[in-house]
Amino acid sequence: MRIGELAERAGTTTRTLRYYESRGLLPARRTEQGHRVYDEGDLRLLREIRTLQDFGFGLEETRPFVDCLRAGHPAGDSCPASVAVYRRKLGELDALLGRLQEARDQVAVQLLRAEAELPSGPAPRCELGTETTASTEE
């Protein structure tokens, strides 16, 4: 399988695959013409990477998982290094969620307060034809 097909089957782009290779994450064999050649195993690795990316992992953080699979383990997280990354990431996510939740609540409070103080009314719905609020541009 060549780069175009792999990209399509994994739902990504050829640019991404070349990028991964440049990072040493997903090297490919080559034909005599220099074209990259992949197999089903590479598709598996690629899907592992993409899944982790969706979870918010950085590329470097997916490396232990890829190495683990390539070492013959049944899953990308069958290695201690991968599990360690899980733990670290979980902590980061929790920290991030905490900060975001706090910010969200602050914004919610400010919004309610500001709406309450707006003289033109909170305009929850059905507020037609207020002169000042014309032309809701998009």
Decide whether 70 or 89 has the Cβ nearer to its own copies: 89
Q: Among all chains, which residue has been given the structure tokens 């400010």?
A: 110
Closest of 21, 32, 31 to residue 1, by C-alpha: 31
Residue 36 backbone dihedrals phi, psi, to 5 degrees = -70, 140
Pick the binder of DNA from 27, 29, 41, 58 (CB under 7 A). 58
Closest of 39, 10, 12 to residue 27, by C-alpha: 39
How far apart are the C-alpha atoms of 45 and 76, rounded to whole Å? 8
Query: Quick one: which segment of 5-13, 20-28, 33-41, 49-57 binds its own copies (CB under 8 A)?
Result: 49-57
Residues that bind DNA (CB under 7 A): 2-5, 12-16, 18-19, 28, 33-36, 53, 58-60
Which residues contact its own copies (rule: CB under 8 A)?
Answer: 54-56, 75, 77-78, 80, 82-83, 86-87, 89-90, 93-94, 96-97, 100-101, 103-104, 106-108, 110-111, 113-115, 117-118, 120, 132-133
